[in-house]
Structure 1
Amino acid sequence: MALARALVMEPGILLLDEPLTGLDERLRQQMRDEFGRLHKRTGATFILVTHNQDEALSLSDRMAVMHSGRIEQIDTPARFFEAPANAFVARFVGIDTLLRPESISISGNRAVVVIAGQQLAVTLAGTAPTDALVAIRPDRIELLANVEGLADTIELKVVESVYRGLSHDVTLAFADGQRVVVTTSADVTPPIPGEKVRVRLKPGAALLIDRSGMSALAGRDE
């Protein structure tokens, strides 16, 4: 009713302060789609405040991520995955794998880092941060058969595999204990704990970002 009363006035700007909080998931998805249709139909500017990443990413033309009252990044939704401003932003959009590099070598907008003795090519957005972490995009890593000599791959040890219905989340570890989670199809038998496997990093998979917003070391409980 409150939304209908607001729309009947044909406002140029509509503020929606966590409008879907408290709804069950199915109704939440339906209302999210309806907001998208209302936005296109009215042509008004919608300012939506939410803690839900899916709502923010699916409804926004531009998005701002805030932390402790401060705007961390304003950008188009895709840019939050391509170049997150820092560790807090990366975690907010679902990039949970944040690794501590042993060393960093930079040339232009490309860099090479060493993690537990293994080299990874990483993408650098802007200037190099003085206190950096390596963020790994979960949609751009792939679990392979343990074949030696493949380019752009690293060798990791399987820690555990968790069945998620449509997929398996396979947790892998570097020699120093830092972890990476790879999602595989539920149709594929996951590797067993203790097994060594190779992971291929697709272009843009690894990003060098500022560690600000992290209250604890990456890879440990916060």
Structure 2
Amino acid sequence: MPDLDMIISPALAARHAFFGRAGGASSGVYAGLNCGRGSGDQASAVTVNRARVAEAMAVPGLAGVHQVHSADVVTLTGLPETAPRADAMVTATPGLALSILTADCQPVLFADAEAAVIGAAHAGWRGALAGILENTIEAMEALGADRSRILAVIGPTISQAAYEVGPEFLDEIRADDEEALRFFANGEGDRMLFDLPGYGLWRLRRAGVSAEWTGHCTYADAGRFYSYRRATHEGAPDYGRLISAIRL
């Protein structure tokens, strides 16, 4: 199997990886390890890529959700026949790999090693604002986890320097909590720069869990990561999706 780019955090005491785009079978704008079935990539290439990720995680298949930028979490005990519409999953089932797709949004992996409970969340700004991170923690607690023991790691995501937003965006975040204004910096004109991973870390830590970011920006490193915003700025017809996975 080709060498895959696997970013691993020593903080998570569960088998996991945030995968870069290296080592995949896709070509063109998807070149590399595109794992998004919803992309316009060849289905056969995506199938090969996902199989390589499953092999790296030592599982027969990957559990996932049909991501819709919601605050909905599902509890899984096995591979679902059809991906449920949600943006996070939790499980206490050994050998079940939870996977999340991203291309600038935050992939967040969670683990309570003592309780043997894990979670995985897709947290763009809208999902984070709606409470997807806090809901994932609560779903883990329902399986026996304790938030004081939960560790959460945010993987490659768009950094503040590359995330320009408008005043309506700022107003929506501010309406939820004035303290979140700290995650905005001045841009050009009426534009602002939003610190998505900083916002995610703040919400996670405020919820009582230990959290960190791997420090990788999807927009800034085209050779290593896919980025929806970079593809848009370049006028590309589509973009690949990165995958992150965790298992007990």
TM over 0.5: no
TM-score, normalization: structure 2?
Answer: 0.28
Q: Which has the higher contact order (CA 8 A, sep 6+)?
A: 2
TM-score, normalization: structure 1?
Answer: 0.31
Q: Which has the larger radius of gyration?
A: 1
Q: Judging by fraction of residues, say which structure has more strand.
A: 1
